[in-house]
Structure formats: structure tokens, C-alpha cells
Structure 1
Amino acid sequence: MFAVVCCHCTDPFNFFPGTSPDIGAIKFWGAAYGALLRPCVPLFVMITGALLLPVRGEASTFYKKRIPRVLFPFLIWSVLYNLFPWITGLLGLNSQIILDFFPYAGEDVMRQSFSVALEYILMIPLNFSILAVHMWYIYLLIGLYLYLPIFSAWVEKASERAKLYFLLAWGVTLLLPYYNEYAADYLWGTCSWNSFGMLYAFAGFHGYLLLGHYLRNLEWSLTKTLAIGIPMFAIGYAVTFFGFRHMTALPECTDEMLELFFTYCSINVLMLTLPVFMIAKKINVRSETIKKALANLTVCGFGIYMVHYFFTGPSVMLVRLIQIPIPLQIPVAAVLAFTASWLLVRLIYRVGGRGAKYIAG
């Protein structure tokens, strides 16, 4: 959860508006931390697979328990994010403040118009807006929840070898972003009238679901984990960091090119993620205080994801204002945003009673 907040604190660095004498350092550290934190989303999916596969009980029971706790907070906070520019206008604030909160914001948002906000709100059933970029994951999460009981039926009956073969096929698909960018648009039967190629059913985030399930019961010694994990992580990081820096240096860099080496379903991000998951399994928390804090974070985690994007931009502004050294600005801002988000969600649970789950998940 902290890695996700920290990752979003890199946005004001990688998408720094205007000029600055420190622009080189700002861009460098944005890329350095951005590459380091790519495992954050795959880890979420892997943990979901590790904890929920195979699904127990009826699919209808699973859907009834999971979907509402995701859907209602998602709708509430999506509306609030989209209303934010209009509210700043009502308060008489300069439109520049919107960029301080949301580095991606475009010209329409800067108008601080209710009609623009309403247009974004009406689009929520179809996709996220430029003001709620992090909500892309919730569409994915709902899709994974819908798919889990179906996928679970196979996982429950499949042998370890069959699961491994699935993961190997999925691993091949992690090379597709680079094939499509550097070789050709189409592969294995895809064409202008068909987007569903030969390995389509093996591609995507459900590979991380199965990987989390598969690795949960795979035990390596600490020596083996480090011997395999450290070189794997180093190679994955080098590809991610230098690839991103190369793309952002190109004058013709498009949005798709910019995100190419940051793509979650890519081989280099897998190489970053797998060692982190395996090393995290070795951690044995003994402190009761830390256990209680982590238990509370488990309850508040989804709510933190919902609200944290309101705090990342201001936190970055604050660390710049108090002149924290640039190499430390992103983690310090992340600590501030994470703490503020956690406190807000704890307050929601404290005063919201049973209804808090519909606000904070």
C-alpha cells in the first residue's frame, strides 16, 4: 500500500509542469523511484490470488461479499475527484491548484466547470477520468473478482505442473508489449478485425493471480531466495529504469511509448515483482504492536487507495517548500500522504459505523 502511494508521488516529478533549474534531478529521481516501485500493482494482484484462490463457497456469495465493498467506495470517490475542480472554482481558488493536485489535468479541467465535472461523472460506468487516474485499478479489480470463481474451478483441480505450464505461457505474453512496439502490431492471428490472439486467454493480470497462488506454497531457503532474487531484481530494474529514461528522451515520445517499460504485464516488471514477493514471505513479524498496526492497515487499505490521490500532490508541494533534498522528496512526501490518508480512513471507520464500509471499502 505504501509502495502505491510512493509510486503516485513520482507523478509530479515525471510529469513536472514548466521549467526549473533542477529539472534534470527532478526527472532522474522520478524515473529512479518510478522504476523501483513498479511491483506495487502486481503485488496487489498476487496477494489477491494467494489469499482468495481457490474460492470457497458459491460464486453468488463471493460476489455479494466482495463487489459492493469495492463498487460503492469507487463510485463515491470517483464523483468527489471529478467534482474537485468545480469546487475549487466555487471557493475562488486559482485553477493552477488543480495541477498541484493532479499533474495529468488537461485544459477542460482548468475551466473549473460543473458541466465538465458532470461529463466526467457520467463517464464513470465506461472509464476513469483524468482526475481519478488511479481508479483504473478498480475496473481491473472488479473484473478479477468477476473472473475469480470461474478461474478458481480450474485452479482447484489443476496439478502443479499444469499451473506451471499456464504460467510459462503467460510469461511469453509478457514480451508482447515490446514485440508490438519494435516488431509489428499483429502476432499469432491478431489483425485489424481480430484483437484476440493465440495466447490471449493466458495474457493479463490473471497471470499474477495464479502466480501469487502458486508461489504462496513454494518455499525457498533465504540463501536461494537472495541468490535468485537479487540478480533478477537488478536486471529487471535496469531494463525498467533505462528503458523509461530512453523513451522520455525521445522527442516523438507518445503516451504509449512513455508507459512501455513501466507496463505492469511485462517481463521486466515481473522480474522486479517476483523477488519482492518471495523475500516478503520470509518476514516474520513478532511485535504485537506492529501486528495490530498491520491488521488495521488491512482494514483501511482499500480506503487509503481511494483517498490518497488527494494528498500526494500537496505532500510533494510541501516537501519542496521546506526544501527537502530532491533525492528524498518522493519517499518523504509518500510518508506524509500515506499517514494523512490512513488517519482520514480511520476517522471514517470511527464515525461511520456500519456504513463506513460503503465509503472506505
Structure 2
Amino acid sequence: PALGYEGNYGNMGILGVCDWNPYGMFYNFSGFLGYMVLAHYLTKYPLAWSWKKTLSITIPFFLIGFAVTFFGFLETQKHFPGQYSKLEVLWYFSGINVFLMTFAIFTIVSRLRIKAGPVLSKVAALTFGVYLCHFFFVQCSYDFVNFIGLGGLPSAVKIPLMACLASAVSAALVWLLSLNRWTRKSIM
């Protein structure tokens, strides 16, 4: 790793730094850790806001973050077509637009009171493993959708279809791994 490896389209990087990953091998510990701290903070010290105040703050936060991401991506694509290192900047978890959307979702979810049941508890126990492996299956679902001839579908249909496929396959794999006492330890 100290010598780097081939990144996207031959870009070399030290310790895993490449176009899509400016954080190198510490990708999951850089900005994501901040969101884990945010989630912990909102759980331990919940905001004492009414639902009206919560929604009046979080909905505009989310819409602003989404608008910056969506329209910024379209604008970047117009000016830098095919330059993926520039296109993905708006998706970085360290951007203020992503923070605004994440804060809004975390705040709303932290206010929800969902009664735990056996099925929900089982699904919740698998979520870390699904998080760890889903990225691989996103690309596989893209390939599968195109392979079976659905590549011509509108993006508004293809993206949810691929998300459902990737989530289902990830959950199935993690569930299978959870049945073995040795592999269970690495995903739960």
C-alpha cells in the first residue's frame, strides 16, 4: 500500500488515495466517523424540539442539500464531462450539502419511536454487515440490470431497482454469514 495502486483510470495514489477516495485507506474513519459521532450525540442528547420545529428546520436543510448535490452534479457534468474525479466531489460525505441532508435524516429518525420486535431486531443486527458489503453489490446489480436487457429503462426506475437488488443480495449474504459462529463475529 505504501507504493500506491492503480486508481480510477490509472491514477496512482499513496495508501489507496485515488479519484473517488481522497482519504486513502482511512476512508471509513475520516468523515464517516463524524456522522457516527453525530448519531451518537443525537441519541444521547436528543434535541428538545417539537415536531413542527423539527420539520421546519430539517425539511429545508434536506432540500437545500439535495438541490446543491443534484443541480451541482448536473452543472459539473456539463462543464467536465467524463471527469469522474470532479463529478463525485458533490457526493463526498465531507461536503456541507451531504451534511445538511444527513443531519435532517438523523434528526427526524432520532425522534421516531419504533417498538422493537423480533423481526426488526433480527434485521437491525444484520445492518452493519449489509453496510460493509453493499457497495460491491451495487455494481453487480448495475451489471445484472443491463445483462437482462433492462438497461434502457429510465434512471428513475433503474436506480430504485438496482438499490433493491443490491440491498436484497447484501442482506441474504449477511444472513447466511450470520448462521455460522465464525463469520457471525465479523459482520455483527
2:162 pairs with one of 314, 322, 333: 333
Quick one: percent identity of the two aligned structures? 32
Distance 1:358 1:105, change over 3 A: farther
8 Å contact from structure 1 (residues 304, 345) kept in 2: yes
Question: Match of 1:220?
Answer: 49
Residue by residue over 1:27-62, the C-alpha shift from the partner in whole angstroms, topping out at 9 and shown as x without a partner, is xxxxxxxxxxxxxxxxxxxxxxxxxxxxxxxxxxxx
State the distance in 2 between where 1:255 and 1:234 align: 24
For residue 311 of structure 1, what is the amino acid of its counterpart? Answer: F
Bigger radius of gyration, 1 or 2?
1
1:298 aligns with 2:124: yes
| Cα deviation, residue 314, structure 1 | 3.2
For residue 127 of structure 1, what is the amino acid of its counterpart? Answer: G
State the distance in 1 between where 2:186 and 2:9 align: 28
1:314 aligns with 2:143: no
Alignment TM-score, normalising by the size of structure 2: 0.72
Residue by residue over 1:119-150, the C-alpha shift from the partner in whole angstroms, topping out at 9 and shown as x without a partner, is xxxx9x933889xx79x797344x47xxxxxx
What is the DSSP-based 3-state SS (H/G/I as helix, E as strand, rest coil) of the residue aligned with 1:281? helix
Q: Cα RMSD (Å) of the superposition?
A: 3.4
Question: Match of 1:211?
Answer: 38
State the distance in 1 between where 2:129 and 2:78 align: 36
Question: Match of 1:126?
Answer: 15
1:342 aligns with 2:168: no
1:264 pairs with one of 82, 93, 96: 93
Question: Match of 1:13?
Answer: none
Question: Match of 1:245?
Answer: 74
State the distance in 2 between where 1:294 and 1:223 align: 28
For residue 139 of structure 1, what is the amino acid of its counterpart? Answer: F
State the distance in 2 between where 1:345 and 1:230 align: 33
Distance 1:298 1:280, change over 3 A: same
Instruction: Give aligned pairs, total.
Output: 174
8 Å contact from structure 1 (residues 300, 360) kept in 2: yes
Residue by residue over 1:241-272, the C-alpha shift from the partner in whole angstroms, topping out at 9 and shown as x without a partner, is 11111111114774442222222112221111
8 Å contact from structure 1 (residues 244, 261) kept in 2: yes
What is the DSSP-based 3-state SS (H/G/I as helix, E as strand, rest coil) of the residue aligned with 2:123? helix
What is the DSSP-based 3-state SS (H/G/I as helix, E as strand, rest coil) of the residue aligned with 2:111? coil
8 Å contact from structure 1 (residues 247, 253) kept in 2: no
What is the DSSP-based 3-state SS (H/G/I as helix, E as strand, rest coil) of the residue aligned with 2:15? coil
What is the DSSP-based 3-state SS (H/G/I as helix, E as strand, rest coil) of the residue aligned with 2:72? helix
Write out aligned runs for 1:93-132 (5 A).
106=9, 126-127=15-16
| Cα deviation, residue 342, structure 1 | 1.0
Question: Match of 1:356?
Answer: 183
What is the DSSP-based 3-state SS (H/G/I as helix, E as strand, rest coil) of the residue aligned with 2:114? coil
Structure 1 stretches lacking a partner, 5+ long? 1-103, 108-122, 145-203
Question: Match of 2:59?
Answer: 230
Write out aligned runs for 1:62-211 (5 A).
106=9, 126-127=15-16, 139-141=26-28, 143=29, 207-211=34-38
Distance 1:213 1:257, change over 3 A: same
| Cα deviation, residue 318, structure 1 | 3.7
2:105 pairs with one of 276, 279, 292: 276
Structure 2 stretches lacking a partner, 5+ long? 1-6
| Cα deviation, residue 292, structure 1 | 2.9
Distance 1:346 1:257, change over 3 A: same
